[in-house]
Structure 1
Amino acid sequence: MTLLYIVLATFAGGLLSVLVAASLTVAVLARLVKSLVSLSAGILLGTSLLNVLPEAFESRTAQPQTLFAMLLGGLLFFWLLEKVELYRHVHHHEGDGHHHHHHFDAEQAGRGGLTVLVGDSIHNFCDGAIIAAAFLADARLGLATAVAIVAHEIPQEVGDYIVLLNAGFSRAKALLFNALSGMSAVAGGVVGYFLIGSFDGVLPYLLVLASSSFIYISVADLLPQLQQRLAWRETLAQVLWLGVGLGVAFGVSRLLHGAH
């Protein structure tokens, strides 16, 4: 059953992002992404600091100093991956207020399109392995982790979709590329299940590595996008969506501790 849960959870992110992208116009997606970025930042931060890290530090097989070193190493690792454009996150589009030069997205999805797709596939594969590690540690923790990843996956994949459309891709072709990239999470989940399941002792370290991924995405990618001069209504909306995300993570944390 654990493997089934992992496959369903990893499949959900890719499927939901494609369905959202296919059902809405680019203008609506652009507005939706702004809210989802705030929501996913709250969920990722809350999940990592309230759920995943506490679970890892409750383990009796790993020393706290070693886990903190793993957290530091993970943050630096994901920073290096993004430096070589293999762990990038796309949440923008032409005219989104980021002040990119004209045809920026066409260049990103044209000349660098392969790198974007390869990077997203690697990112999704890692997400799948993270979900597998969480489910192997605790089914409820796996659910919390899957919710956090799906919350981030939707704006990420929608952002990729918008970039590809701005570069001249047809809707069908852009959706196909997004779907193929999203399915790499399923592969990561299945591989993670069989590899991690044989080494229970590494679970705390993998959970810390997962947390470092969530924290890095939130602090280095999502929160900076919210640091813009906006009208008070838009700022309030950002804070509210961030609070909703933290609330979701806190609610799941209460359920987890109640189960223990």
Structure 2
Amino acid sequence: MDSLILWIILFTALGGVLSVFAAAAFLLVPEATRTRLLSPMVSFAIGALLGASFLALLPHAFETPGVDVHRVALTVLCGILVFFLLEKMVIWRHCHTHDCEAHVPDVDRARHAATGNLILIGDGIHNMVDGVLIAAAFLTDIHLGIITSIAVIAHEIPQELGDFAILLHSGFSRARALAYNALTGLTTIVGGVVAYFSLSLAEQLVPYVLAVAASSFIYIAVADLIPGLHKRPEFSATVQQIALIALGVVVIFLAHSTLH
């Protein structure tokens, strides 16, 4: 078997399934501690997502021989607009608490269950897309694949934590929530494997998939994660947020420089 597919399977598993179990383990932490740690995790994830987009994914997409730079830029713009529409359809929302405004719980039990099912469907779609993006990065360069996976993992853990909270609030038991979330995590591997066999036959598409990956990361950071940080406007919190965002960018920069 081609070693590249093994890399893709390994890192899509890390980005999908293991992030679910990491988030589940985080639920065992006392709620007060969990709440205190969540904002720093989100801040770091913002830096990692933006760093991966602007320091790794987009440069590789633009530098691909024979690629039309304007088409790649247009792909990024269209990707951001598509993710906006997906969020409007409530299948792409990144919740980090059980009372996320996109999935406001209702007193009716049936609607609670519907909210949980919607989270699972949206998470499965999102994870599959993550798998495609990771595979496209590996098809370009193994180092780029690793960096993309780091960014995915950085935002998946706080996202999965929020998903767990919503599922539990929707009436799922801890065991059932873990099992269903693990199954949706497997779609990351599915997306990666399917992308490997399809994109390897159409290498000219890879730069544009990298552009979609960048637009996804940029949209998640700017539209979903950053607004949550504005809920803590005090100076000390702002300094901490900026420092952790910068740390996320630095980690991606150092990983990119070291791996190359």
Instruction: Give the TM-score normalised by the residue count of structure 2.
Output: 0.90
**Which of 50, 57, 65 does residue 60 from structure 1 map onto?**
65
Q: Is the 8 A contact 2:22 2:157 kept in 1?
A: no
Q: Distance in 2 between matches of 1:226 and 1:107?
A: 32
User: For 2:201, what is the secondary structure of its paired residue?
Assistant: coil
Q: Is the 8 A contact 2:113 2:170 kept in 1?
A: yes
- Aligned partner of 1:238 in structure 2 is 241
- Aligned partner of 2:204 in structure 1 is 201
Query: Are 1:226 and 2:229 an aligned pair?
Result: yes
Q: Is the 8 A contact 1:87 1:120 kept in 2?
A: yes
- Aligned partner of 2:79 in structure 1 is 74
The percent identity for this pair of structures is 43
Shift of 1:108: 7.3
Shift of 1:65: 1.0
Q: Distance in 1 between matches of 2:159 and 2:79?
A: 21
User: For 1:51, what is the secondary structure of its paired residue?
Assistant: helix
Pairing of 1:100-249 with structure 2 (within 5 A) = 109-249=112-252
Q: Distance in 2 between matches of 1:102 and 1:10?
A: 31
Per-residue CA shift, 1:108-154, capped at 9, x if unaligned? 75232222110110000000000000000000000000000011111
Q: Can you give the 5+ residue segments of structure 1 that lack an aligned partner in the other structure?
A: none
Q: Can you give the 5+ residue segments of structure 2 that lack an aligned partner in the other structure?
A: none
Per-residue CA shift, 1:59-103, capped at 9, x if unaligned? 122111111111111111111111112212111235x9x8x9776
- Aligned partner of 2:98 in structure 1 is 93
- The alignment covers a number of residue pairs equal to 254
- Aligned partner of 1:25 in structure 2 is 29
Q: Is the 8 A contact 1:33 1:159 kept in 2?
A: no
Q: Distance in 1 between matches of 2:70 and 2:22?
A: 43
Q: 1:140 to 1:101 in 2, by over 3 A?
A: closer
Give the RMSD, CA atoms, in angstroms. 2.3
User: For 1:111, what is the secondary structure of its paired residue?
Assistant: helix
Query: Are 1:5 and 2:10 an aligned pair?
Result: no
Question: What is the identity, as a one-letter code, of the residue corresponding to 2:215?
Answer: S
Of residues 194-203 and 21-30 in structure 1, the stretch that sits farther from structure 2 once superposed is 21-30
Q: Is the 8 A contact 2:105 2:115 kept in 1?
A: no
Q: Is the 8 A contact 1:108 1:163 kept in 2?
A: no
Question: What is the identity, as a one-letter code, of the residue corresponding to 2:162?
Answer: G
Q: 1:123 to 1:102 in 2, by over 3 A?
A: closer
Question: What is the identity, as a one-letter code, of the residue corresponding to 2:43?
Answer: S
**Which of 19, 35, 45 does residue 16 from structure 1 map onto?**
19
User: For 1:62, what is the secondary structure of its paired residue?
Assistant: coil
Q: 1:103 to 1:197 in 2, by over 3 A?
A: same
Q: 1:204 to 1:102 in 2, by over 3 A?
A: closer
Shift of 1:176: 1.1
